[in-house]
Amino acid sequence: MENRVIIGGQWGDEGKGKIVDALSQDVDWVLRYQGGANAGHTIHIGPDKHVLHLIPSGILHKGVRCLLGGGMVIDPWSLRDEIMALEQKGHKVRDRLHVSATAALLMPYHMRLDELRESRLKRKSIGTTGRGIGPAYLDKIQRTGLRMGDLLLPTENLERKVIEKILSANEVLSEFYDAEPLPARVLAEELVVLAQFVAPMVVNPYDALRKVREGTESALFEGAQGTMLDIDHGTFPYVTSSNSTIGGALTGTGLPPRSLGEINGIFKAYCTRVGNGPFPSELLGEAGDALREAGGEYGATTGRARRCGWFDMVAGRYAVDINGMTGVIITKLDVLDDLSTIQVATSYELDGKTITSYPVLSEAIPRCRPNFTEFAGWKKPTSDCRRLTDLPAAARKYLEFLEKELGTLIVGVSVGRDREQMIWTETGVTT
């Protein structure tokens, strides 16, 4: 079984959860490498719907081990709730779920600070998920935060360390934001109890992943968010605070580049974005609303309505290139089934020039106006298609165009939310 990295090619919510679920059946490990409970992966298995935020989607396959990697920011309160919810549905989780000791520990004050900072930014707010992600990464980068390994400390030491951190966060809350301080002792006591729950799952990732490093165990790397939300390569500052691109898979697990294997980008057949920030191919008004309803485009984490638009090939090619994608998977093709025409943004107008290369600077992107190429719709249902030859000719033409312009093979097409609603196309879609 070859290793594989799953990376969001757009602004997140590309349907990675379903793909990871489909591809993780036979792997030894599924590794989450960045982000935290800002992610929301929805998986439908028969009548059951599972929404996971921290735990990799692979956990639903018995025998698959999952690791929350060191590049993540983990809220132990959310982790416990997610584990309990899975256990209540009959999934045994704790013996297969491992948490890297080096992952950052996200505390309630990070969430509070996220909220306060966003409301202070007012119209310039990022539109975060409110899960404390930015402040938790800030604490890591400025070398003051707690790590999951701290949960292994003797109770007294842990309690003392946590109280110290909360008191120093309380100073920021009251002095900078004029907000209520958090109850340090109560939270520290809660964390001590949580530590007992989580500690048996905390591992040294260097030891835990030894066989993956040696090539005798296989791994699927599960990315969260998407390329355009990457802290370095996305639409800064309207991004998340981690590397959702390929580098994050390395730093977030401690595995070497040779462990990565195939790099598969996941792209919706159109585009969505939640939160604020530039989105050149956005469809406003009724057309955008219709796409949102057809695709059920509401956030799995916050329930927010997603902004919808056409496939953006300028951003798409950029995502393929900077991640070195070796193949892509197109999701939600069936959402376009009823449309008479479909468009793709194939270039931008910027300062009187037509450009096809993504301009990267946050100052330039909001000024880009897309040029569209139009395609005929197929006006037929595709959700029962399981082979390329089952698809209507116009749908194949659309996919062939995406494959050609993205410059890499389409290795899979998702045509519905269920596990089996997939067309696998190892040799691409172009005949």
Catalytic sites, residue numbers: 13, 41
- The residue among 238 and 348 lying less far from ligand IMP, judged by its C-beta, is 238
For residue 212 the two structure tokens come to 């993956």
Q: Does residue 126 bind ligand IMP (CB under 6 A)?
A: yes
Cβ distance to ligand IMP smaller for residue 275 or 327: 275
Cα 57–chain centre separation: 11
> Does 336 interact with ligand IMP (rule: CB under 6 A)?
no
Alpha helices in 270-392 (DSSP H): 285-295, 313-323
Q: Is 37 in the site for ligand IMP (CB under 6 A)?
A: no
Is residue 240 close enough to count as binding ligand IMP by CB under 6 A? yes
Is residue 426 exposed (0-12), middle (13-18) or buried (19+ Cβ within 10 Å)?
A: exposed
C-beta of residue 38 within 8 angstroms of C-beta of residue 64: no
Q: Say whether residue 224 binds ligand IMP (CB under 6 A).
A: yes
Minimum CB separation of residue 271 from ligand IMP in Å reads 12
Residue whose CB is less far from ligand IMP, 259 or 323: 323
Cα torsion for 32, 329, 247, 98, to the nearest 10°? 10
Choose one: 179-187, 238-246, 254-262, 316-324; the region binding ligand IMP (CB under 6 A): 238-246
Pick the binder of ligand IMP from 3, 10, 13, 382 (CB under 6 A).
13
**Gap between the Cα atoms of 233 and 250, Å rounded:** 16
Residue 131 in contact with ligand IMP, rule: CB under 6 A: yes
Which of 24, 218, 225, 408 is close enough to bind ligand IMP by CB under 6 A? 225
Structure tokens given for 82: 């997610």
Task: Give alpha helix (H) positions in 60-219.
Answer: 76-88, 108-121, 133-141, 155-177, 184-198, 205-208, 210-214
**Residue span binding ligand IMP (CB under 6 A) among the ranges 55-63, 163-171, 237-245, 314-322:** 237-245
Binding of ligand IMP by 17 (CB under 6 A): no
128 binds ligand IMP (CB under 6 A): yes
Q: Is 71 in the site for ligand IMP (CB under 6 A)?
A: no
Cα separation of 280 and 307, whole Å? 11
CA distances from 280 to 49, 59, 186, 346, 361 (A): 32, 36, 47, 11, 14
Binding site for ligand IMP (CB under 6 A): 12-13, 38-40, 126-129, 131, 133-134, 224-225, 229, 238, 240-241, 274-275
